[in-house]
Amino acid sequence: MDETLLEQLSRVVPQAVVGGGRAARPRPAGRRLDRPLSRGDLDLLARVPLFAGLSRRHLRRVAEHADLALFRPGEHIVREGQPGGTFYVVVEGEAVVRQRGRRIGRLRPGDFFGEISLLDGGPRTADVVAETPVTTIRVFKRAFDRLLREEPGVAAKILAVVAARLRLAERRSPLG
């Protein structure tokens, strides 16, 4: 999570090693330094409400299908109307949520968004923009779907949390 350390490593370690054996590609200036989750990041996952009911084994499986994504202040994490398919958990920093240009919320460490996107891949319902440097845990739909096929017990636990969150949102809604 220490971006400075990651930057230092990327200058010392050959890019093919950093990229898991993939061919080295020049890094555009200012590009985020995303990385896979490590075993040490399991505690981060365990504190996320969506994953709180999972066993250590299941948390390890989620970690295998996730990475850390770093965003600069002012950078869009997601854009309203764009296709979904990615779930995020804020680990460090703060982001603002805007719907149709109007600010509707703030995300802080521990907050998550995009869980419905993991299920249906539908369009984003809001913009999420980093206000400070933001570190997130990111899970892509394709990896999540593979995880659910391999570990069906994870699905029931995660769906229960998503259902509870939807019920809460429904109660807050003027129609609910």
What CATH number should be reported for the domain holding residue 68? 2.60.120.10
Same domain, 17 and 98: no
Q: How far apart are CA 142 and CA 117, in angstroms?
A: 11
Same domain, 110 and 123: yes
Same domain, 9 and 55: no
Same domain, 123 and 149: yes
Same domain, 95 and 116: yes
Same domain, 47 and 12: no
Same domain, 75 and 152: yes
pLDDT at 131 over 90: yes
Q: What's the pLDDT score for residue 42?
A: 81
Q: What is the mean pLDDT of the chain?
A: 77
Find the mean pLDDT for residues 117-145.
Answer: 89
Find the mean pLDDT for residues 74-96.
Answer: 93
- pLDDT band at 98; cut points 50, 70, 90: very high
Q: What are phi and psi of 120, to 5 degrees?
A: -120, -10
Q: How far apart are CA 80 and CA 102, in angstroms?
A: 12
Same domain, 6 and 84: no
Nearest to 168 by CA among 93, 115, 90, 91: 115
Same domain, 84 and 166: yes
Q: How far apart are CA 56 and CA 46, in angstroms?
A: 8
Domain housing 17? 1-31
Based on the structure, what is the number of domains in the chain? 2
Range with the largest mean pLDDT of 25-34, 75-84, 148-157: 75-84
Nearest to 95 by CA among 115, 118, 72: 72
Which tens digits make up the pLDDT trace of 62-78? 888 788 999 999 999 99
